A and B are shown apart, each in its own frame.
Chain A
């Protein structure tokens, strides 16, 4: 069973949000200095799910990430956990891509790898939380897709998948190949073994550009974006305190209810 895992490197989500700054002119989030970026949390669960499937059914796990040279650390970590191969997608043309534009590059890379049985991603990335990439990937690869997934098993040549719902889960049968956006309920990502860490330094990680993927610069990156970011800012939260005055508690309660209704809160 050959599995491709697409992962994203994000600013450390463990850092308190108050530490982040927003550059409103460049429409960019500026993480605090000296904080190393990490693999997005849900993507770690996707890596773990892929490794577990490989351990049960054999095959190969290839991990792909689009981003600057620092994403090689993320790819190495994935190999240290047990993935077999990794590809980095890097090209100035990829910059500024939204979920769809990034999915175009990822889909092209997956096709370039050859045949695959399953593509896994995190249900959404810990930075923007858009959750678009898995659906876009399924569409671009022309296969079935499901998000968010809390369980996946190989059954009768296909897949048994459980989608997380608000009050439980939805059991579905899916064909192979498919794209699944993995949710955190599925597993506990493993800690890399020492052998894994050492091996991760030895696995070559090729870098593919847009040209390598047969894509022209206008098909990817900012020029392929389907979302236009209007404004990026930290919303100001205001809190006002109002005293309800009355002579008796009963009167107070009545006035409070009236005030809440005026504010359309009840």
Chain B
């Protein structure tokens, strides 16, 4: 170990740095303890199952920065800064120890390694490149998702100071304490060259300036972090590791009976009724705004911004409610002038909660795996089941489902009229059927979607698939009911359907509705319904691949496929519908700018098929414009709601003639028609 190397100053400096370090660590510990206690106020939840999948998230999404890199510019700058931090934190610790322990200059063993030295040198300037890119993004590019605030600029400035001081320290060290590994530090060599002519004390003075700047900023960071959005430096990795690994379309099931017995809430109206992980989500938010940039509600000018939803909850936790949760009496003076804020109503307006279409775009865009949709549904549950506050149209929809088993109040007895008219058997008539065709409410009653049901039935007949429907025994799956917040009515619907399905010993189900597909396939398991459920695009693609369906009639048209959220983002079914379409001779697929994982919702999810859009632009009009941008001759989709929303938009924009909209099944049906069926 060098004894002739630079020092940070006279002995009093060593004492000072000890005081500063201990002080900063103590302040950090106080803040951290407060945060941990606030998180502990949340409800318990196990987030340590499936460690394999969690580890994978840590590797791919934290260290691999996958979600960040989906936006290349900001992704790359973040990779530079993130990896720079991971690497240079070793060097920073080395600097700090040099001050705390006189005589310590290098890490034992690795300190002399060329690779280690090189990594410190390399990332010191790569981080600077990242910081310059970030400043340029914030000041010049100004994407609307980012709010230009002081916090962001202060942090970037501090990071730059850390790196500049790093280079100054390394440069001076090359002169004051030359070592063999110095050759591995080209950038620091440049700095050293600039200092060559200076007398040794001057170089050491520069070293000390660099050192004190570096260590003060470092300690300052430690104190500042827990108060700023840059807390994510600490919480992002755990928050990602602790992400939900349940099936994506499965909302948490409440034990209603138990909740009522124990006088527990059935929705969330107070911050501590969220789980600790929900609370960790809020303090992990980095304000990057990727959620908001993808959110159809935000894009169309609604009040909901998933970013501000999370930030407002964070602020409510850390400021409005912290004293109460920590058992401290609110300050005696002053703090009592304003009435306590209700979380649902004051902090998060009812309308914000209604605006969500549950499309999951926010959750898929979030680089730190914040779970927005379940929080929104939890608060909707409070509004609907506890506070009796609900959109009038949704009240009607719920009454309709309760009274007639479908959201529009068509008579139950007429549910299978479409099938009778087309000779489609019920399970009672054909108990040996391989597949149950779950028709869904839209496919049963909506004139337009009945056509899709018939097309799918014809395709199954042609492919020789033995299928049957439930007929009038089928009732609403409960998707819109659950998503607007009426968990109670949803459970009644689910129990009734599971009883019917199990009564018929149903094993395999095919459906044309992504919402039924998700609900029956993933949510009924909690109610004793375990079936192999496929969406028709999966089955049809398979039948085409096996040669059981032969699309022969040409359709010379360019087709834009719109991904429905509940088979796309919720179930990763992207390729099958495209392959099924490509199997039709003459079809040329055109992708919209937002497609597959980034596809934008048609605007009908989460109960919005059953209410008016009162503010902002119509989401389905925006989505149609996105389709028109790539100038297709057809739009194909695979969801009854998407079909209705698109056709509503083409009517409004008067393009019904030039841009027909169809379900994938209808297009395949057309192309596989035998000449005697035409």
Interface residues of A (CB under 8 A from B): 12, 14-15, 19, 32-36, 38, 188, 190-198
Contact = CB atoms under 8 A, between A and B. Distances in A.
Contacts of B260: 194-195, 198
Given A36-B403, A194-B266, 19 more contacts: A12-B404, A14-B400, A15-B411, A19-B411, A32-B411, A33-B411, A34-B472, A35-B403, A35-B411, A35-B412, A38-B403, A188-B392, A190-B388, A191-B388, A191-B395, A191-B398, A193-B386, A194-B260, A196-B388
B411 A193 contact: no
A72 to B, nearest CB: 16
Given A190-B388, A193-B385, A193-B387, A15 B409 contact: yes
A34 B409 contact: no
Given A32-B411, A36-B403, A38-B403, A197 B488 contact: yes
13 contacts: A35-B404, A35-B411, A35-B413, A38-B403, A188-B392, A191-B388, A191-B395, A194-B260, A194-B385, A194-B488, A195-B260, A195-B386, A196-B388
A193 B387 CA distance: 7
Interface in B390-447: 390, 392, 395, 398, 400, 403-404, 409, 411-413
Contacts of A38: 403
Nearest to B472: A34
Contact of A193 (B388, B392, B404, B409): B388
B59 to A, nearest CB: 43
Interface majority SS (helix, strand, loop, mixed), chain B: helix
Contacts of B409: 12, 14-15
Contacts of A198: 260
A18 to B, nearest CB: 12
A195 B409 CA distance: 25
B413 A32 contact: yes
A191 B384 contact: yes
Contact of B388 (A19, A34, A192): A192
Contacts of B411: 15, 19, 32-35
B256 interface: yes
Contacts of B266: 194
Nearest to B409: A14
A39 B262 CA distance: 32
A192 B260 CA distance: 15
Contacts of A188: 392
Interface string B350-388: 000000000000000000000000000000000011111
B403 A194 contact: no
B413 A33 contact: yes
In this complex, the member of B256, B388, B409 whose beta carbon has the largest number of chain A beta carbons within 10 angstroms is B388
A188 B389 CA distance: 11
Contacts of B400: 14
A12 B387 CA distance: 27
B386 A194 contact: yes
A19 B260 CA distance: 40
B190 to A, nearest CB: 70
Contacts of B403: 12, 35-36, 38
A38 B404 CA distance: 11
Nearest to B415: A34
Contacts of A19: 411
Ranked 8 nearest A-B pairs via Cβ: A194-B385, A34-B413, A34-B412, A190-B388, A14-B409, A191-B395, A193-B388, A33-B413
Contacts of A12: 403-404, 409
A197 B390 CA distance: 16
Nearest to A81: B388
Nearest to B395: A191
Contacts of B412: 34-35
A14 B256 CA distance: 31
B150 to A, nearest CB: 45
A198 B400 CA distance: 20
In this complex, the member of B256, B400, B404, B411 whose beta carbon has the largest number of chain A beta carbons within 10 angstroms is B411
Contacts of A195: 260, 386
A17 to B, nearest CB: 13
A196 B266 CA distance: 13
Nearest to B386: A193
A198 B373 CA distance: 28
Nearest to A192: B388
B137 to A, nearest CB: 46
A50 B202 CA distance: 88
Contacts of A32: 411, 413
Contacts of A194: 256, 260, 266, 385-386, 488
A208 B260 CA distance: 32
A58 to B, nearest CB: 19
A36 B400 CA distance: 11
A230 to B, nearest CB: 31
Contacts of B256: 194
Nearest to B256: A194
Interface in B194-243: none
In this complex, the member of A19, A32, A34, A192 whose beta carbon has the largest number of chain B beta carbons within 10 angstroms is A34
Nearest to A189: B395
Contacts of A191: 384, 388, 390, 395, 398
Nearest to B400: A14
A43 to B, nearest CB: 14
A233 B266 CA distance: 50
A188 B260 CA distance: 27
Interface in B320-362: none
Contacts of B472: 34
A197 B398 CA distance: 14
A79 B388 CA distance: 14
Contacts of B387: 193
Contacts of A36: 403-404
B264 to A, nearest CB: 12
Contacts of A190: 388
In this complex, the member of A12, A14, A191, A198 whose beta carbon has the largest number of chain B beta carbons within 10 angstroms is A191
A192 B256 CA distance: 16
A195 B384 CA distance: 11
A70 to B, nearest CB: 13
Nearest to A15: B411
